[in-house]
Structure 1
Amino acid sequence: MAVARLGTVVLDCPDPLALAAFYAEIIGGKAEETEEGWVELTGHEGTPLAFQKSPGYVPPRWPAEDGSQQFHLDLTVEDLDAAETRVLALGAKAVDAGDPVRTWRVYTDIAGHPFCLCAC
């Protein structure tokens, strides 16, 4: 029997409103600041996503030579090329766009968190 169920995925960052707006453009929803330093992305399908202000935030590195990336989001898309164009226009950075025939590509968001666009 499970002890718990997954509630919310929370990303630390220097600017929660900006990062929530970035992901709202990608997965839909609306950024809502529920308390100072805490922003929730509401009105989208899937697992709840929130953003927490972290004054000493240091972004993960991908790939990290001295350990793992710790965490990343896999975002499923219909058209990899169109999705890539959109996320790059929003400020994402490509870190492993890979072989054109591969079904996934790696980026970092505006706060440096790695995420993948994955063809469904």
Structure 2
Amino acid sequence: MAIAEVGSVVLDCPDPRALAEFYAQVLDGTIVDEGEWVDLKVPGGPTLAFQAAPGHVPPRWPSAEHSQQFHLDLTVEDLDAAEKAVLELGARPLETDDRERTFRVYADPAGHPFCLCAC
């Protein structure tokens, strides 16, 4: 028996609404805006939440001194098509040169690393 269930995954960021909009388009989620805290209801997955963090400093990829602390793995059917879409939405490539790998690393508009992973 589990002690708990995942209620949400929370990302600190400078602009919760803007980051929720980015992930809403990537994950086809529904935004529930509460000002300093914005929830994104994701079909078939846990809620992503975005919390205002004044002075937010994004992690660096890869860097032991500025640890990422966590990242999202997002499963996709077509890496090339998904890459094009997230770049158009404002993602920034971090580690995408090795086209033979089954994943590619990006930063969202607030600087959090995430991976697109082939299913």
Q: What's the TM-score, normalizing by structure 2?
A: 0.93
Look up the match of 1:104. Answer: 103
Is 1:10 aligned with 2:21?
Answer: no
Is 1:56 aligned with 2:91?
Answer: no
How far has the Cα of 1:67 moved from its partner? 5.5
**Structure 1 counterpart SS, 2:85:** helix
Deviations 1:11-39 (A, max 9, x none): 000000000000001001122213x3000
Q: What's the TM-score, normalizing by structure 1?
A: 0.93
Distance in 1 between the 2:112 and 2:42 partners? 22
Deviations 1:36-78 (A, max 9, x none): 3000112522111110001121111111142632110000000
The one-letter code sitting in structure 1 at the alignment partner of 2:19 is L
What is the RMSD of the two structures over their aligned residues, measured on CA atoms?
1.3
Distance in 1 between the 2:42 and 2:11 partners? 18
Look up the match of 1:47. Answer: 46
Could you say if the C-alpha distance between residues 76 and 43 of structure 1 is closer, same or farther in structure 2, counting changes exceeding 3 Å?
Answer: closer
Structure 1, unmatched stretches of 5+, are: none
How far has the Cα of 1:3 moved from its partner? 2.2
Look up the match of 2:116. Answer: 117
Out of 108-117 and 67-76, give the one that drifted further.
67-76
| Corresponding pairs, count | 119
Look up the match of 1:86. Answer: 85
Distance in 2 between the 1:40 and 1:15 partners? 13
The one-letter code sitting in structure 2 at the alignment partner of 1:118 is C
Distance in 2 between the 1:67 and 1:60 partners? 5
Look up the match of 2:70. Answer: 71
- Percent of pairs with identical residues: 62
Look up the match of 1:22. Answer: 22
Structure 2, unmatched stretches of 5+, are: none
Is 1:38 aligned with 2:31?
Answer: no
How far has the Cα of 1:101 moved from its partner? 1.2
